[in-house]
Amino acid sequence: MKQNWKPGTMIYPLPAVMVSCADSNGNDNIITVAWTGTICTDPAMLYISVRPERHSYGMIKETMEFTVNLTTKALAKATDWCGVKSGRDFDKWAECGLTREPGVMVSCPSIAESPLSIECRVKEIVPLGSHHMFIAEVLNVRADESLIDPSTGAFDLGAAGLLNYSHGHYYEQGAEIGRFGWTVKKKK
Helix (H) or strand (E) run with residue 163 in it: strand 163-166
Q: For 98-155, how does the pLDDT look when each residue is reduced to its tens digit (9 = 90+)?
A: 999 999 999 999 999 999 999 999 999 999 999 999 999 999 999 999 999 888 888 8
- What predicted TM-score, i.e. pTM, was given to this entire model? 0.94
Decide: residue 98, CB within 10 A, 0-12 exposed, 13-18 middle, 19+ buried: buried
The structural domains of the chain, ordered by start, are: 14-172 (2.30.110.10)
